[in-house]
Amino acid sequence: MRAYHGTTVLDIKTLKPMQRPYSNLEEPCVYLTLNKALAALYIWDKPYMFMTFRFSEDGTPIYYETFPDALRFFYDGVKGCIHTCEGDFDYEDKVGIRPAVISKRPVDSIHCEKVDNAYHKLIELEKEGSLIIERYETRSGDDYAGDREMVLSAIKRMNLLKEEHPMAPFVKETFQACWKEALESVTKK
């Protein structure tokens, strides 16, 4: 099967199993996806992962912004590549992403598509219909309420109020109302 791996690490000939910092899996593996547009979302240079996406009924990834111009904030100017790989990969439900596959063994890259700017690549994928981007300004009140719950859950689950996690400064600055609400809920206890 053909699968893809997005990364900021260029010129890799072989992808090696690694333990991701926030992985659902206990053993090292190579994470891949059957969806090239989804792989492009993983061209990421922040010290934390904060990706907000889901899938349409036909399997197209839908990236949705949780704050104004989020796509540009995370991806503009980020260089990387999308590796194409062939092999017998495993599905692992614990990964929690529908088109994700893994390999517990090294995987050879048969092609590396260089990406000079991940933001421009994502806009290109949107124009060709491989990715849907929901801009913050076009989302509904229900969407914003769902975003609030997601952020509050992340603050609690990841213990961000301790401000030790690399994502804490970003959440504290970007989602100030959620941060304040989370602080207040802790001080009330």
Are 22 and 98 in a shared domain?
A: yes
Phi-psi region of 32 (alpha: psi -120 to 50; beta: other; left: phi over 0): beta
Q: CA of 26: how far to CAs of 20, 21, 22, 58, 175, in Å?
A: 9, 10, 10, 31, 31
Place of tokens 């990969």: 89
Are 150 and 59 in a shared domain?
A: no
Q: Domain limits at 78? A: 2-138
Are 62 and 92 in a shared domain?
A: yes
Are 95 and 161 in a shared domain?
A: no
Residue 35 CB partners (closer than 8 Å, separation 6+) = 4, 59, 61, 99
Are 53 and 129 in a shared domain?
A: yes
Are 132 and 170 in a shared domain?
A: no
Are 54 and 127 in a shared domain?
A: yes
Residue 77 CA to residue 87 CA, distance in Å, equals 31
Q: CA of 148: how far to CAs of 41, 50, 144, 181, 183, in Å?
A: 22, 14, 6, 10, 14
Are 16 and 71 in a shared domain?
A: yes
- Per-residue model confidence (pLDDT) at position 187: 81
Are 114 and 174 in a shared domain?
A: no
**Where is pLDDT greater, at 33 or 49?**
33
Residue 185 CA to residue 187 CA, distance in Å, equals 6
Q: Is the pLDDT score of 189 beyond 70?
A: no
Are 181 and 94 in a shared domain?
A: no
The three-state secondary structure class of 180 is helix
Q: First-to-last CA distance in the chain? A: 52
Instruction: Quick: pLDDT tens for 159-184.
Output: 999 999 999 999 999 999 999 999 99
Identity of the highest mean pLDDT range in 10-14, 47-51, 106-110: 106-110
Answer yes or no: pTM beyond 0.85. Answer: yes
Are 18 and 82 in a shared domain?
A: yes
Q: Count of domains in the chain? A: 2
Are 11 and 102 in a shared domain?
A: yes
Instruction: Quick: pLDDT tens for 51-92.
Output: 889 999 998 999 999 999 999 999 999 999 999 999 998 777
With 0-12 CB in 10 A as exposed, 13-18 as middle and 19+ as buried, what is 53? middle
Instruction: Quick: pLDDT tens for 121-145.
Output: 999 999 999 999 999 999 988 989 9
